[in-house]
Structure formats: C-alpha cells, structure tokens
C-alpha cells in the first residue's frame, strides 16, 4: 500500500570524517539508494568503501521480505495465510512479526489489531462504488475480526474462518529493522534506512546523529533509534479524501478526526510503526503515552491534532 510521505531526511550526502570511524570509511563518499519497499518510497544512505555491495544486499533483503508481508503478491506468505486461514512451516520472519504484533496488541489495549483487514476490504469496496458501508455490512465485517482468533507457533499459523490479516501497520518498520540488522552484521555502524519508517544507526555525514525533520518543521536527532509517523488520512480510499486507511476494531470505522499526524520513536522501527498506527485511534496524549510506556523504550515525539 502506498503511503503519503511525511518525513524528510535532511542529512546532506557528504563524506563522513567523524572521530572513531576508520580512515577508509571516513574517506568513503556517502552513497544512496532510492527505490520502493512494500509500495512506499524507500531510501538507504551510508558511507562505506563497500557501499555498493552492501546496498545490493539490503535491496535483496527487502525483496525477500516482500515475499513474506506483501498484500499485493499472490505468492506472499501473508496472502497464502489469508487465502486458506492456515500456513504450515511459516518463516521465522512472519512468526517473529506476529509475535511482536501480539505484544503491541496488548500494549495498546487492542487498538493495534492486524485482523482488521476485512474492514479495509469492505470500506475500499464501498468507496469504489461511491458509497459508505451500511451498518449491517460493518457488523458482518467486525464479526470476522479479532486478534484472539489467531493461533501461532513455529510449526503453523491458523486463523478463525473468515479472518484475514494486514501487516501494513508494522511491516515497513519490521523491514527497516531487518535491513539494519543485516548491515550491522556486515560491520556497518553508520547508516540511515527509510522504508516508510526510519531506522538510524550511528551517525550521519557530519559525525553527529542523523537529523530528521518531521512535517511541522521540528527536527529530531536519531542515533541508534527509529522513528515512525502515521496519519489517519495518510492514505485514503475514496475520491473525496475522507475515508482513511486506519480502522478501529471496536467501531469498524476509520480513525476519527482527533489526530492529523502522530510520530513515535523507539529502538525498534517495528515497535514505533505499530504504536504510531494504533495511536491514531486513541483519544488523547495520555493514552498514547501509556501505550508507549507499556511497549517499553518508546516515546511520543509529536501528536498533531486535526484542524
């Protein structure tokens, strides 16, 4: 699913010369790759003598993970799970991601619920027909959702009949974390990864933390930390731009008009991604901050109220 982009990376693409970096890496020019990950614009920036090979490895990792999480590839693990309600021998990536989803479901008191895919399908179909869903249709879709209907272990994943999952509220962050881990395993200490959510390792080209500017102009300095931003109308399903893509499992309707944009930081981009998504359904800052505290090492960076 394509997202409207809310984050602008402001670090200049200059050669690094920071204390503590080897002379070879310091002399290497900053290299950048731009492409697509899960339908969103993606970017990797790093200064390393072997940057081209490392970027190729990162791109291959993104492609591999799209085969797990994509809702647009018929052969992805997620699509096969949704089609049959059962998946034998799931990948470690899918099992790990769903385990994290369970933790975020608990931390957000149910606001984060990947089983809302039937609601997305209903609202998207109704929007394509130029109408809003009827109350009876919403009730039918809601009867098919519920995180408690998922059974998960390393050998198989099973869902209650009629269920379907979307990982659009966590997969971009999960991929950023996986790419960061891959590059760290190759000895990369300083890199910026943007897969729709941001993971920043080490320092930027000027030897300082990576500067990231959020939409309203506020600048954050990220070092070994991730940032995710969500907006109820970041992606819309109707021509009028009023039906957003984040759905409330309690009401069956899109997120209300409380928030325009929410940014959360955490050590993990997947955690930040899930929290920023769920926060769009929460009534006030206190509820968001409580969820961040329950998730551990997460912080609300920005909550812009709707006009």
Distance CA 156, CA 151 (A): 8
Distance CA 94, CA 88 (A): 12
Is residue 284 part of an annotated ligand binding site? no
Distance CA 177, CA 58 (A): 11
Is residue 169 part of an annotated ligand binding site? yes
Distance CA 256, CA 244 (A): 9
Distance CA 77, CA 152 (A): 14
φ/ψ of 20, rounded to 5, equals 95, -10
Sign of CA dihedral 87, 93, 99, 104: negative
Helix (H, G, I), strand (E, B) or coil at 99: helix
Contacts of 10 (CB under 8 A, 6+ apart): 211, 212, 213, 219
Distance CA 239, CA 58 (A): 36
Helix (H, G, I), strand (E, B) or coil at 1: coil
Binding site per annotation, positions for Mg(2+): 169, 273, 277
Binding site per annotation, positions: 169, 273, 277
């Amino acid at each position: 699913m394509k997202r409207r982009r809310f984050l602008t990376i402001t670090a200049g693409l200059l050669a690094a010369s920071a204390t503590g970096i080897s002379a070879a890496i310091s002399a290497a020019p900053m290299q950048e790759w731009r492409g697509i990950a899960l339908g969103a614009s993606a970017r990797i920036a790093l200064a390393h003598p072997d940057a081209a090979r490392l970027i190729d490895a990162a791109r291959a990792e993104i492609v591999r993970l799209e085969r797990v999480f994509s809702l647009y590839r018929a052969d992805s693990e997620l699509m096969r799970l949704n089609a049959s309600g059962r998946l034998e021998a799931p990948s470690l990536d899918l099992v790990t991601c769903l385990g994290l989803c369970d933790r975020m479901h608990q931390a957000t008191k149910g606001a984060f619920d990947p089983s809302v895919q039937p609601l997305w399908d209903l609202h998207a179909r109704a929007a394509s027909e130029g109408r809003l869903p009827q109350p009876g249709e919403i009730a039918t879709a809601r009867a098919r959702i519920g995180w408690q209907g998922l059974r998960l272990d390393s050998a198989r994943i099973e869902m209650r009949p009629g269920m379907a999952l979307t990982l659009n509220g966590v997969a971009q962050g999960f991929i950023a974390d996986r790419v960061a881990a891959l590059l760290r395993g190759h000895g990369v200490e300083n890199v910026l990864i943007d897969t729709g959510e941001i993971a920043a390792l080490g320092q930027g080209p000027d030897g300082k933390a990576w500067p990231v500017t959020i939409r309203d102009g506020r600048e954050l300095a990220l070092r070994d930390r991730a940032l995710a931003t969500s907006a109820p109308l970041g992606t819309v399903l109707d021509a009028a731009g009023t039906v957003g893509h984040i759905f409330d499992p309690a009401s069956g309707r899109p997120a209300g008009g409380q928030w325009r944009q929410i940014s959360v930081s955490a050590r993990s981009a997947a955690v930040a991604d899930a929290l920023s998504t769920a926060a769009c359904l929460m009534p006030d800052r206190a509820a968001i901050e409580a969820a961040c505290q329950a998730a551990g090492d997460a912080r609300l960076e920005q909550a812009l109220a709707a006009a």
